[in-house]
Homo-oligomer: A and B are copies of this chain.
Amino acid sequence: MIIIMKPNASSEAVEKVTNLIQSKGLQVHLSKGDEVTIVGVVGDKTRLHGSNIEISDGVDKIVNVTESYKLVNKKFHPENSVIPVGNTVIGPGTLTVMAGPCAIENHDQLLSSAYAVKKSGATFLRGGAYKPRTSPYSFQGLEEEGLKYMKEAREATGLNIICEVTSLRAMETAVKYVDMLQIGARNMQNFELLKEVGKSGIPVLLKRGLAATIDEWLNAAEYIISEGNPNIVLCERGIRTYETATRNTLDISAIPVIRTKSHLPILVDPSHATGVRAYVEPLSKAAVAVGADGLMIEVHPCPSCALSDGPQSLTFEQFDTLMKDLKPYMDLAGRK
């Protein structure tokens, strides 16, 4: 931690700050410049919690030198993680494709989707049983009934299954059925839920919040891992910007950024990032090329009949073509 004093800070002000730091058992490195004095702090900064040095007299600002996330930080775990889920793993050298409908609508819709995505090469079936919807008057999901169909689909196809949970109650039910839990963008900072998912030990896909910085996202992952659950996979799904031509703006740079900051795998969801079916194919190719560890894609037997997110869903045929088109990109990227 570095404390930058104001140009006109008195020597008493500097002394007060250094005394405060030393009183907590930390060391101080003073650097007096022509314009400003800088106070470097050496030692365990958690001892300064609640000291609020930034409002001491004469202090201009504080610069944090070290990240607040530790266990998900690549600095302390340089090897990229391989996350075991169900009958497979997610991480380096693999390209995991999770596909299926936005919402589970009924038995046949889900089962036919499962057979179709399995046939085209997906290894996970996605499907929403608890739907976070902007309006209370939109379809809210089949809940446990949907999870039962998911389980049946797994037994029928051998696909691993993943389902979003939006509350503790949903989580407690879902853990009985799924291979992997999903924390959606709107719940990325639902810290109670993160802690419980951390305690459950079940693999979790953590989507980036709509307006979350990469640091906030990694801190959210830290909530899960610090409760004892290291089986975390990140998912970039677009951030909110001023541009309205797409539903969100896919932050594709987040993949190489995460690669330098964390050892966790990262997937890309081009369906939610754009909200437009025609953009899913080019963005899927870009995601593989940029080095993502996988994709999450919405597929529906009849997009024009879907109860949720139809406009961004692929048909079975479109998904099959996409998977074939992605194959040479996967080969180039050294993934299978």
Using a CB–CB cutoff of 8 Å, the interface residues on chain A facing chain B are 2, 4, 6-8, 29-36, 38, 40-44, 46, 49-52, 54-56, 63, 65-66, 68-69, 75, 132-139, 166-170, 186-187, 189-193, 195, 210-211, 213-216, 219, 222-223, 226, 239-246, 249-257, 260-261, 273-274, 277-279, 282-283, 285-291, 303-307, 310-311, 328-329, 332
Contact = CB atoms under 8 A, between A and B. Distances in A.
A274 B257 CA distance: 10
A249 B245 contact: no
Contact of A52 (B65, B287, B305): B305
Given A31-B31, A187-B190, A290-B283, A239 B249 contact: yes
How many copies of this chain does one complex carry?
A: 4
A246 B242 contact: no
Given A290-B283, A290-B285, A42 B52 contact: no
Q: Is the interface of A mostly helix, strand, loop or mixed?
A: mixed
Contact of A219 (B7, B31, B136, B274): B136
Contacts of A223: 136
A251 B246 CA distance: 10
Contacts of A30: 29
Given A7-B75, A136-B222, A253-B279, 14 more contacts: A6-B75, A29-B38, A38-B40, A56-B304, A136-B219, A167-B192, A170-B192, A186-B190, A187-B190, A211-B240, A213-B244, A239-B249, A241-B241, A256-B278
Nearest to A259: B282
Contact of A135 (B55, B69, B170, B250): B69
3 closest A-B pairs (Cβ-Cβ)?
A: A211-B211, A52-B310, A29-B31
B304 A55 contact: yes
Nearest to A50: B307
Given A279-B256, A289-B288, A214 B245 contact: yes
Nearest to A55: B311
Nearest to A238: B253
A240 B192 CA distance: 23
A206 to B, nearest CB: 14
A35 to B, nearest CB: 5
Nearest to A328: B332
Nearest to A43: B34
Contacts of A257: 245-246, 279
Nearest to A140: B191
A219 B195 CA distance: 28
Most chain B CB within 10 A, of A54, A285, A307, is at: A285
Contact of A245 (B41, B213, B250): B213
A169 B192 contact: yes
Most chain B CB within 10 A, of A38, A139, A243, A285, is at: A243
A137 B68 contact: yes
A19 to B, nearest CB: 13
Contact of A139 (B50, B169, B211, B239): B50
A295 to B, nearest CB: 13
Contacts of A249: 239, 241, 249, 251, 253
Nearest to A304: B52
A213 B226 CA distance: 33
